[in-house]
Amino acid sequence: MKGFDGNGQTGRIARRFGVPIVVWFVDDPRPILLNNGNHMGPDMTAFCWEKEHIPFLRDAGFHKTEFLPLACDPGQFVETLSVRSLSASMATPLGFVGTSMVDRFAGNIRDKFLWSDSLSPLVETCAESLIADPALRVQESIPAIAEKLGIRLGFSDEKNITWLAAYIIHHASMKKRKTIVNGLLLQGIETFGDPAGWKELFGNAVVTHPNIDYRHELASVYRSIAININITSCQMPTAVNQRVFDVPMAGGFVISDRQQDLLTMFRPQEIATYETIEDLREKVRFYLGHETERRKITDLAQKRILGEHTYAHRMRKITGSF
């Protein structure tokens, strides 16, 4: 809801002139609506990249709510569409592009609620529970888990609970990334972006690379990695993130954790997936030795994305809803 002013004038002006307002949420809507919920209007439509948030958005007062997944901008990777000989530019056999999500990245979340170090065991327990059960409703589970641990929250209002839940989800995502990368250290995984954070987690056990500019450097980085690993954030129990679109469009190959929405958007032959660390290690070994298979999957994924998953497709979905 960027662009909404604090006094709600944006919504009032739009309603005055009969201009419909559409909000496409591509991040957890709960913290976003903390400051904008009072500006909701009956003529506002919400699209959301994660279908699990649809009931919350409906209850929040949106006139209409619909699921709308992420997509890709082919123009960002247009130079890669003719790329067929990938091996020449591959400098890294195995890589993960993304931050470590260590605590220094979460500091601004803690600043938004009444944080106390006494909450650390609660955060840890909730994060572990979320990793074990991606469908866990963190915000609703906090009071019961706190009571079980004998932890006094010191607050029960929506703002503090919402931001505490956001911090738990962030922490769980960090632990998930740490576990996956740790499981691939012996196979030589390298990280791209946030070198200090990754060194904080693994020291010299991992080769790190500097931060990457999305618009000018990301495509070439994806192409330079033989196997890109995708690790979905814990704020997405069913949805898929940007990598499953961007990596193939850049001419790279990706192995993604198996998300519910993934196989509704891609056919099995168009995407490689993993479910466990052992499964991932085995598939890394296989695909490193089978470049032809990697290229075949990448080509099929590109065709699917161009046919169904560009931002032009998503905009047609939005404008066609009126």
Task: Tell whether 55 and 196 lie within a shared domain.
Answer: no
Q: Are 294 and 86 in contact (CB under 8 A)?
A: yes
pLDDT tens digits along 280-307? 999 999 999 999 999 999 999 999 999 9
Task: Tell whether 295 and 241 lie within a shared domain.
Answer: yes
Task: Tell whether 137 and 242 lie within a shared domain.
Answer: yes
Lowest mean pLDDT among 17-26, 181-190, 255-264: 17-26
Report the chain's C-alpha Rg in angstroms.
21
pTM of the model: 0.91
Going 210 to 166 to 272 to 54, the CA torsion angle's sign is negative
H helices of the chain, in order, are 9-16, 29-36, 54-60, 103-110, 120-132, 138-149, 158-183, 195-202, 218-224, 243-249, 262-265, 277-288, 291-308, 311-319
| Assigned domain for 1 exists | no
The CATH number that applies at residue 277 is 3.40.50
Name the residue among 33, 27, 22 with its Cα closest to residue 50.
Answer: 27
Task: Tell whether 176 and 59 lie within a shared domain.
Answer: no
Burial class of 147 by CB neighbour count within 10 A (0 to 12, 13 to 18, 19+)? exposed
pLDDT tens digits along 246-288? 999 999 999 999 999 998 999 999 999 999 999 999 999 999 9
pLDDT tens digits along 80-130? 444 444 444 558 999 999 999 987 666 689 999 999 999 999 999 999 999
Task: Tell whether 52 and 78 lie within a shared domain.
Answer: no
Quote the DSSP letter at residue 120: H
Task: Tell whether 227 and 288 lie within a shared domain.
Answer: yes
| Assigned domain for 178 exists | yes
**Which range marks the domain in which residue 38 is found?**
9-68
Look at the chain and report how many structural domains it folds into.
2
pLDDT tens digits along 189-209? 999 999 999 999 999 999 999
Going 209 to 211 to 216 to 219, the CA torsion angle's sign is positive
Task: Tell whether 140 and 274 lie within a shared domain.
Answer: yes
| Assigned domain for 2 exists | no
Last residue of a domain, one of 45, 68, 91: 68
Helix (H, G, I), strand (E, B) or coil at 113: coil
264-276 burial, b at 16+ Cβ within 10 Å, e below that, comes to ebbeeebbbbbee
pLDDT tens digits along 27-53? 999 999 987 777 777 788 999 999 999
| Assigned domain for 322 exists | no
Task: Tell whether 297 and 148 lie within a shared domain.
Answer: yes
Last residue of a domain, one of 20, 51, 68: 68
* % of the chain surpassing 70 pLDDT: 93
